[in-house]
Structure 1
Amino acid sequence: MTRGEEQLARLRMRFSLLRPLADDSVAPTTLRQPWQRAAVLIPLIMRTEGLQVLLTLRSPHLRHHPGQISFPGGRHDAQDHSLAATALRETHEELGIPPHAVHLLGQLPPHRTHSGFMVTPYLGLLTSPLDLQPAPDEVAAAFSVPLAPLLETKAYGQWPVTRSGQRQTVYGMVLSGHLIWGATARMLWQLATQIAD
C-alpha cells in the first residue's frame, strides 16, 4: 500500500466516524437574509507520495474574493438537484473535471461567509487522470499542495478581525509558497480538527 493509499484509508475512517464541529466563526447577523446557498469541492488527488489537495487561484476580475486561493465551487442554481450537484457542476465549469471523475467521500458542516453565503464543502477523491482545463474567466491558476500539512491544526494562524462591527476569527497558513486564508483555510482547519488524533 502506498503512502497515499494509507492516508486515504485513515482519512476515510476518521472522517466517517467523527462528528463534525459546528462553524461559529462568523456571526449570523453579518449575513443577508435569506442566505445564499453555495457549495465547494475539496478535491483530493492520489499520489504515491501522499494525498494532495487541488486548489485554484481565483481570477482577479471576479466579484467575490478576487485573486484568493479557493476550492472550485459556487452558488447553488435552481437546476442543481442538491448542493453536492452544485459542487460537482462548478468543479466541471471551473476546471473541466466531469462529475463522474469525482468520488464523493462526504461533507463538512456549512460555513457562513462574511459576504452572505452559506457554503457546504464536499470532500471528493478525483478518480481519473487529471486533464485540467481551467476556465480563464474564473480561474487564474490551478495547483496542488500536500494534504498532510493541512491536517496539522497547529500549523494554522488565527487572527481576530472586525467586519461590519462583528468580531470574527480568520484562519490562514503559508504552504508551498501559497497563502491560504479565509474561508478556504477555515474549511481545511475544520477538516483537520474533525479528524485529529
Structure 2
Amino acid sequence: MRFDGDIAAIASRLLLHPEPMPDAHDLVPDFQLQELDGRPPVPAAVLIALVRRPMGYTVLYTERATGLRKHSGQVAFPGGRIDPEDHDASYAALREANEEIALDPQDAEVLGFMPYYYTGTNYFITPVVAVVEPSGPFIPNPGEVDAVFEVPVETLMAPKSYGHYRLHFQGQVRQSWQIDHGGHRIWGITANLTRRFRDHVLTGEAGHAP
C-alpha cells in the first residue's frame, strides 16, 4: 500500500482538540499491570511525527535509554507528562521532543489529535500528530534516549508489518501489536498506538475513532 502524501486527508481524520479526561471511574486501561490505589490518572502526550524526507514520509521513534528506571530500552514516541505550565498537549509533546531528541518545535506543524489512550500504568495519553520538516539532525539526549530511528509510512501501512507480542504477567498472557524494523522491536503501547494511527488516520479503514 502506497502513501500518497495527502496530508489534508490525514488532518481530516483527526480531532481538532484533545479529548478531555473522563471521570476516572469511566476509564478502561489497555491492560492492567499494577494496582492504581485510587491515584488520579497522569496526563501525558506523545508526538506522532510524520517526517518529510526526499524519499517520502517516515514516522519518528526513539529507543529509551537503558539507564532509565521505567521502560528502559523500549521503543517509544517522543513525549511524556503534561506539566502544569504546558499550554496544552501539543505544547507538551513538542517540548518533550525538543528535550529528548532536539526536534525544533518550529519545524513541526500540528495537524490534530487522536483519541486518548489510557494505560494500565495510569497514564492518560493524548497522541499529537504533526508534520515535521527537520532543519537539522535529531540528536538523542543521552540521559533519556539511546537512539532515534524512522520507519517509512508505507511499512506501517502494510498489514504484513504487524505481528503479535505476548507478555506473561502474573499468570496471564497479555498481548499487543508488534512491529520489527531495522533491528528495533516496537511493541506494547507504542505498537498499539501505531496500529491505531494506521487504521484510523493513515488509511481511514476503521473510521475516525478507535
TM-score, structure 2 normalization: 0.77
User: In 1, Cα distance between the equivalents of 2:136 and 2:99?
Assistant: 15
Deviation at residue 63 of structure 1 after TM alignment: 1.9
1:26 corresponds, among 23, 28, 31, to 31
CA RMSD of aligned residues (A): 3.0
User: In 1, Cα distance between the equivalents of 2:178 and 2:36?
Assistant: 22
In structure 2, do the counterparts of structure 1 residues 117 and 163 end up closer, same or farther at CA, with 3 Å as the change threshold?
A: farther
In structure 2, do the counterparts of structure 1 residues 62 and 83 end up closer, same or farther at CA, with 3 Å as the change threshold?
A: same
- Equivalences for residues 3-152 of structure 1 within 5 A: 6-15=5-14, 25-26=30-31, 31=36, 33-152=39-158
Q: Which runs of 5+ in 1 are unaligned?
A: 17-21
TM-score, structure 1 normalization: 0.82
Q: Which runs of 5+ in 2 are unaligned?
A: 16-26, 206-210
User: In 2, Cα distance between the equivalents of 1:181 and 1:173?
Assistant: 7
Contact 1:23/1:111 (8 A) holds in 2: no
Q: Which structure has more helix as a fraction of its residues? A: 1
**Structure 1 moving runs of 4+ over 4 Å:** 13-16, 27-32, 159-168
In structure 2, do the counterparts of structure 1 residues 176 and 15 end up closer, same or farther at CA, with 3 Å as the change threshold?
A: farther
Deviation at residue 82 of structure 1 after TM alignment: 1.1
Report Cα offsets for 1:106-146 as digits up to 9, x if no partner.
Answer: 11111122222111111111134233222110010111111
**Equivalenced residues, count:** 192
- The share of aligned pairs that are identical, in percent, is 34
Give 3-state SS (helix, strand or coil) of 1:6's partner.
Answer: coil
Deviation at residue 188 of structure 1 after TM alignment: 0.6
User: In 2, Cα distance between the equivalents of 1:138 and 1:49?
Assistant: 29
Report Cα offsets for 1:18-69 as digits up to 9, x if no partner.
Answer: xxxx986335995452011111101111123221111111001112210011
Give 3-state SS (helix, strand or coil) of 1:140's partner.
Answer: strand
